[in-house]
Amino acid sequence: RIKRGRVWNENMSSKDLAMRLQKVRSHFQKINKYNVSYQGTFGQKLSPQSILCQLRDRVNMSTIERSELPPEASYWSDYLPIESFQKKVGRLGRCAVVSSAGSMKFSKLGEEIDSHDAVIRFNAAPTSGFEEDVGTKTTFRLLNSQLVSESNLRFLEDPMYRTGILLMWDPSQYKADLRQWHLNPDYKFYDRFVKYRRMNPEQPFYILNPQSSWQLWDVIQENSSEKIQPDPPSSGLLGIVLLMNLCDQVNVYEFVPSKRRTDQCHYYHRFFDQACTMGAYHPLMYEKNLIKKLNQGDDNTIYYSGKVTLPGLNGLQC
Interaction site with ligand C5P (CB under 6 A) = 99-102, 122-123, 234-237, 255, 265-266, 276-277
Q: How far apart are CA 101 and CA 274, in angstroms?
A: 11
Shortest approach of ligand C5P to residue 100 CB, angstroms? 4
3-class SS letters over the chain: CCCCCCCCCCCCCHHHCCHHHHHHHHHHHHHCCCCCCCCCCCCCCCCHHHHHHHHHHHCCCCECCHHHCCHHHHHHHCCCCCCCHHHHHCCEEEEEEECCEHHHCCCCCHHHHHCCCEEEEECCCCCCCCHHHHCCCCCEEEEEHHHHHCHHHCCCCCHHHHCCEEEEECCCCCCCCHHHHHHCCCCCCHHHHHHHHHHCCCCCEEEECHHHHHHHHHHHHHCCCCCCCCCCCCHHHHHHHHHHHHEEEEEEECCCCCCCCCCECECCCCCECCHHHHCCCCCHHHHHHHHHHHCCCCHHHHHHHCEEEEECCCCCCC
Give me the residue whose beta carbon is nearest to ligand C5P: 236
- Nearest distance in Å: CB 302, ligand C5P: 13
> Closer to ligand C5P at the Cβ: 247 or 256?
256
Residue 218 Cα distances to 56, 253, 278, 302, angstroms: 13, 24, 19, 26
CA-wise closest residue to 20 among 230, 271, 235, 263: 263
Residue (100 or 221) nearer to ligand C5P, CB: 100
Question: Residue 142 CB, nearest distance to ligand C5P (Å)?
Answer: 8
Q: How far is the CB of 1 from ligand C5P (least distance, A)?
A: 26
Kindly state the smallest distance separating residue 241's Cβ from ligand C5P, in Å: 11
Closest to ligand C5P by CB, 68 vs 259, is 259
Nearer to ligand C5P, 178 or 262 (CB): 262
Of the two residues 77 and 305, which places its CB atom closer to ligand C5P in the complex?
Answer: 305
Q: How far is the CB of 269 from ligand C5P (least distance, A)?
A: 10
* Residue (100 or 223) nearer to ligand C5P, CB: 100
Q: To the nearest 10°, the Cα dihedral for 119, 11, 214, 162?
A: -20
Q: How far is the CB of 77 from ligand C5P (least distance, A)?
A: 25
Q: How far is the CB of 236 from ligand C5P (least distance, A)?
A: 2
